[in-house]
Amino acid sequence: MSAGLLVTLCLSVLPAAAQSGDGREFPATLAGQVVLAADSIVPAPDDAPDALKSAGTFTGATRRRTLEPGSVPGMDGLRPTGFATPIEGQSLQGFSGIKAMQDGTYWTMSDNGFGAKANSADAMLMLHNVALDWETGTLDRRETVFLSDPNAVAPFPIAMEGTPTRYLTGADFDVESIQPVEDGFWVGEEFGPYLLKFDRQGRLKAMHDTMIGDTAVSSPDHPDLRLPADPASPMPAFNLKRSGGFEGLALSPDGAKLYGLLEGPVFVDGQAEATDDGRDALRIVEFDVASNEWTGRSWLYPLAEGATAIGDFNMIDDSHALVIERDGGAGLQDQACAGEPAADCFATPAKLKRVAKIAMSDESVGGPVAKLGYIDLLAIEDPDAKARQGGANGRYTMPFVTIENVDRVDETHIVVGNDNNFPFSAGRSLTKADDNEFVLLEAGELLRAE
pLDDT of residue 20: 61
Q: What does pLDDT average to in each consecutive run of 10 residues of the chain (450 residues)?
A: 34 37 97 97 97 96 94 96 96 94 97 90 98 98 98 97 97 97 97 98 98 95 89 87 94 98 94 92 98 97 97 97 98 96 96 98 96 98 98 97 98 97 96 97 97
Do 289 and 256 meet the contact criterion of CB atoms below 8 Å apart? yes
**Domain of 299, in residue numbers:** 3-448
- The pLDDT value given to residue 226: 87
CA distance 158 to 155: 9
What pLDDT score does 227 carry? 81
Looking at residue 3, its pLDDT comes to 38
- pLDDT attached to residue 19: 42
How many separate domains does the chain show? 1
